[in-house]
Amino acid sequence: MTQVSQNISQAIDKLSGQASAVQLPQALAVKIQDLLDELDISRESNIFWQKYQQTKKYIEWIISLPWNNQTQDILDINYAREKLDQNHHGLFEVKERLLEYISVLALQKSRSPDQKMRAPVLLFVGLVGTGKTTMAKSIADMLGRKLIRIPFGGLGDPLYLRGQSKTHPEAEPGQIIKGLVHVKSSNPVILLDEIDRVADDALNTIMGVLVELLDPEQNSSFEDHYIDHPFDLSQAIFCATCNNTQRIATAVLDRLEVIEMPSYTDEEKQVIGQKYLFPKALAQAGLGQQEIVIKESIWPTIIRPLGFDAGVRTLNRNIELLVRKSARLIFEGQVRQVIIDESNVKNFIPQW
């Protein structure tokens, strides 16, 4: 046997060993064996190594998927409440809806442990910065599940979600499969973020993919074009967000449970700024709590330097900005402590 022939045999054997080391669905295991057989037949061909790379790439994606891996749910109402309060101030009605949702899942699990849980698909609707995306993250936290976030802003090609056939040289799986490989769990929380911001020319086709993803009768056999084999998404929990529902197809809305995210009052924003955003910004900048002091009378200015904002994104940006400016003063040795009051607040955040 020549050295080249030996190298080819070793390469094929290595792929075969990788595939056989993972418990795969029977039909998929047969398909991979067929691909390996085809590869072996083409060993004398000029395109062997090209075919080898394509087969290797495909098998690596297949064996990286969590076919048999799931996280164990935390179905504890007190733990769920703690996580929600830790991540969000106010939003009492929204939190109550989620606690009801956890209660139903817990009852399903305790009374029918062998039955697959069917979770409603939650659509968080609200203005920018009202906590829609963060709320979806909190669902993953309180259940102890992994989170996959798929942004839909400007999305113009359904292949982004469903992948491209492996017959194309540069083909790859879609974002659903990539997310599953990344989190290594078949029951994550999948966040479909800003589903109302899909590109106009792709709206209908992408809404069609969403119908399949969100329908429990269909997503149990979701098929990515690249993987070309059904993957069971029925135990994943789907959440979605949007600013409004006008551009969402009726067939998609029928599969969603809408939860409206209210705007924050100035009083709520002040608590959020003081309790959540400011300590977080200090920690990210490597500063202690006593190195920057914000006078109580300044908070209304931080909250509304340029007028009303429904969410807390502007507030968060203003806090991060004043922390960065203060950090520079401290780093350069100009001061040891920054006190922000009426006399100097204009030096730290933009105003009219």
* Residue 70 belongs to some domain of the structure: no
Same-domain status, 145 and 252:
yes
Give the number of domains in the chain.
3
Same-domain status, 133 and 223:
yes
Same-domain status, 53 and 147:
no
pLDDT of residue 177: 96
Same-domain status, 282 and 142:
no
* Residue 352 belongs to some domain of the structure: no
Same-domain status, 270 and 253:
no
pLDDT of residue 89: 86
Same-domain status, 278 and 218:
no
pLDDT < 70 regions, the chain = 1, 3-4, 305-310, 351-352
pLDDT of residue 78: 93
Question: Which residues span the domain enclosing 319?
Answer: 266-347
Same-domain status, 89 and 226:
yes
Distances (CA, A) of 34 to 29, 30, 37, 73, 338: 9, 6, 5, 38, 69
Same-domain status, 242 and 286:
no
Same-domain status, 92 and 205:
yes
pLDDT of residue 108: 84
pLDDT of residue 250: 92
* Residue 125 belongs to some domain of the structure: yes
The structure's pTM equals 0.83
pLDDT of residue 309: 66
Q: What is the CATH number of the domain that holds 218?
A: 3.40.50.300
Domain boundary residue, one of 42, 64, 86: 64
pLDDT of residue 168: 86
